Amino acid sequence: MSLFAWRPEYTVNVASLDCNHQKLFSILNSVYENVMNSPEIGCVLPRIDELSEYTNYHFSAEEEYLKKQGYSGINEHIAMHREFTHTIESLRSSYNKNDLEVSRDLIIVLGDWLLRHVIKEDRKYAEQGGALTA
Ligand SMILES: [Fe+2]
Ligand SMILES: [Fe+2]
Q: What is the reported pTM?
A: 0.91
- Residue 82 CA to its chain's centroid (Å): 11
* Alpha carbons 77 and 81: distance in angstroms, whole number: 6
Ligand 1 center to residue 102 CA distance, Å?
25
- What pLDDT score was predicted for residue 94? 92
Q: pLDDT grade, residue 68 (50/70/90)?
A: very high
Gap from CA of 24 to ligand 1 centroid (Å): 9
Residue 131: the pLDDT is: 47
Q: Which fold has domain 27-128?
A: Four Helix Bundle (Hemerythrin (Met), subunit A) (1.20.120)
26 touches 47 (CB < 8 A): no
30 CA to centre of ligand 1 in angstroms: 19
| 71: DSSP letter | -
What spacing in Å lies between the alpha carbon of 95 and ligand 2's midpoint?
A: 25
Q: How far is the CA of 66 from the centre of ligand 2 (A)?
A: 9
Q: Separation of 59 CA from ligand 1 center, angstroms?
A: 6
59 φ/ψ angles, rounded to the nearest 5 degrees: -60, -40
pLDDT tens sequence across 97-114 = 988 889 989 999 999 999
CA atoms of 106 and 112, how far apart (whole Å): 10
What are the sequence ranges of the domains in the chain?
Answer: 27-128
Q: What's the 118 CA to ligand 2 centre distance in angstroms?
A: 6
